[in-house]
């Protein structure tokens, strides 16, 4: 295996990791500091994240017993694999997608089955499509299986066709993990249909629209029996005191959240329109806070040229993505600089 080392490249504009360019509002930080000052750091903090699960219950509409909190969505993915995969079990991954599924499934000794997704033409543009027939060929009653669906998909950017995802969910006997890390940017979810699907678990994170990537908080929503399995494999005190309190406090900021959603949606529309008009670049639709672009020129050249201007983007390693770059939405000023830089480089 090749160690996964996210880039630490020095840059002025960091667009490589799909973070929010906006920090948590100062007034929220002050509330967090105040609460932290009253806490004891010498004692372990709540291992079951009760207060945060109550807040998440209000936010998601699920019962607290249906919610499990982890140190980032990454830990949720790992715990799902520890609970439901491992030696003798299959992990089915439509690919390319978020790399952690394959990495953790491999580390846990699972049998990894990657099924390619395909580019198809739609209207004037191109989208990425699940090959549900090929995925279903791997479905079996004989083994325990775990299927990951990233919705919207990272790194391609958009949702897969909802009917196709539902078809997979309905035909599968194993556990389906629907990764909704980018939920708030697009709004589509399977979380409101979980009563129909006790074998589906939704993964979410505070690292994206909630601006808490540095504090590592993610959560899972699912049937109580499924969620209980995660408690068997979890690290005892997996989410720090600081992280739990910060997540509770940011969830109170409902107006701020709505404002963030509006800002990202506006920036995404504007960026897409600009990108559509740049020659030598094909941009895929996005329901998230990032875009995947196909380039005519060598992507290493474009990547290096952007870096010379202080903009850090992401090169994905999958073969099918070999001439693509992924970058996330920044502030309006950063987006303008990205567009003018791309024009300069690609013209
Ligand atoms: N799922 C997806 C689809 C992601 O893109 C990411 C992070 N980029 C994660 C999960 C992990 O998020 P976290 O920071 O909460 O571990």
Query: What residue spans define the domains of the chain?
Result: 13-23+255-346, 39-251
DSSP 243-293: HHHHHHHHHT-HHHHHHHHHHHHHHHHHHHHHHHTSTTEEE---SSSEEEE
For domain 13-23+255-346, give the fold. 3.90.1150
Distance (Å) from CA 205 to ligand 1 centroid: 7
Nearest Cα residue to atom 1 of ligand 1: 181
Give CA–CA dist 246/33, Å, rounded.
Answer: 9
| Cα 303 from chain centre | 23
Tell me, yes or no, if the pTM score tops 0.85: yes
Do the Cβ atoms of 289 and 266 come closer than 8 Å? Answer: no
Ligand 1 site residues (CB inside 6 A) read: 18, 72-74, 98, 150, 154, 179, 181, 205, 207, 213, 218
pLDDT of residue 200: 98
pLDDT of residue 124: 86
pLDDT of residue 28: 98
Nearest Cα residue to atom 6 of ligand 1: 181
Distance (Å) from CA 99 to ligand 1 centroid: 9
User: In 3-state terms, what secondary structure has residue 179?
Assistant: strand
Query: Cβ neighbours of residue 17 under 8 Å, at least 6 residues apart?
Result: 6, 7, 213, 314, 328
Give CA–CA dist 16/230, Å, rounded.
Answer: 31
Which atom, in ligand 1's list, is nearest to the CA of 182? 3
Do the Cβ atoms of 60 and 67 come closer than 8 Å? Answer: yes
Sheet containing strand 175-179, edge to edge, reads 67-70, 218-221, 200-205, 175-179, 145-150, 90-95, 111-116
Mean pLDDT by 10-residue block, N- to C-terminus, for the chain (347 residues)?
79 96 98 98 97 98 98 98 98 98 98 97 93 98 97 98 98 98 98 96 98 98 98 97 98 98 98 96 97 96 96 95 97 98 95
Question: Rg of the chain's alpha carbons, rounded to an integer?
Answer: 20
Give CA–CA dist 293/324, Å, rounded.
Answer: 5
DSSP state letter for 185: H
Give CA–CA dist 73/182, Å, rounded.
Answer: 11
Distance (Å) from CA 73 to ligand 1 centroid: 5
Do the Cβ atoms of 60 and 54 come closer than 8 Å? Answer: no
Distance (Å) from CA 213 to ligand 1 centroid: 9
Kind and range of the H or E element at 117?
Answer: none
Burial of 185 (0-12, 13-18, 19+ CB in 10 A): buried
Distance (Å) from CA 250 to ligand 1 centroid: 18
Domain at 39-251: CATH code: 3.40.640.10
pLDDT of residue 7: 74
In Å, the largest CA–CA distance within the chain is 59
Burial of 346 (0-12, 13-18, 19+ CB in 10 A): middle
pLDDT of residue 47: 97
């Amino acid at each position: 295996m090749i160690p996964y080392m996210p880039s630490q490249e020095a840059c002025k504009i960091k667009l490589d990791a799909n973070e929010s360019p906006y920090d948590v509002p100062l007034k929220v930080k002050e509330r967090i500091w105040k609460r932290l000052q009253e806490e004891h750091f010498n004692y372990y903090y709540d291992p079951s994240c009760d207060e945060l699960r109550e807040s998440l219950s209000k936010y998601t509409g699920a019962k607290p017993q249906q919610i499990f909190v982890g140190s980032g969505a990454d830990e949720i993915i790992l715990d799902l694999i520890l609970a439901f995969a491992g030696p003798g079990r299959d992990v089915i991954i439509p690919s390319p997608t978020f790399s952690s599924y394959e990495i953790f499934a491999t580390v846990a000794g699972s049998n990894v089955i990657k099924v390619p997704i395909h580019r198809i033409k739609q209207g004037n543009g191109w989208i990425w499509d699940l090959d549900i027939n090929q995925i279903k060929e791997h479905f079996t009653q004989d083994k325990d299986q775990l299927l990951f669906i990233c919705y919207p998909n990272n790194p391609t950017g958009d949702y897969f066709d909802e009917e196709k995802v539902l078809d997979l969910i309905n035909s599968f006997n194993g556990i389906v993990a629907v990764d909704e890390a980018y939920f708030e940017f697009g709004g589509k979810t399977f979380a409101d249909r979980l009563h129909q699907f006790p074998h589906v678990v939704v993964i979410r994170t505070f690292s994206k629209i909630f601006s808490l990537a540095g504090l590592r908080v993610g959560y899972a929503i699912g049937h109580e029996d499924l969620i209980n399995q995660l408690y068997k494999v979890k690290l005892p005190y997996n989410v720090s005191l600081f992280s739990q309190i910060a997540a509770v406090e940011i969830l109170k900021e409902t107006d701020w959240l709505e404002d963030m959603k509006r800002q990202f949606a506006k920036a995404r529309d504007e960026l897409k329109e600009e990108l559509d008009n740049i020659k030598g670049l094909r941009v895929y639709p996005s329901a998230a806070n990032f875009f995947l672009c196909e380039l005519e020129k060598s992507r290493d050249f474009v990547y290096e040229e952007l870096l010379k201007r202080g903009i850090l983007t992401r090169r994905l390693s999958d073969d099918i993505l070999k001439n693509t770059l992924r970058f996330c939405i920044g502030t309006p000023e950063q987006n303008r600089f990205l567009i003018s830089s791309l024009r300069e480089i690609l013209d």
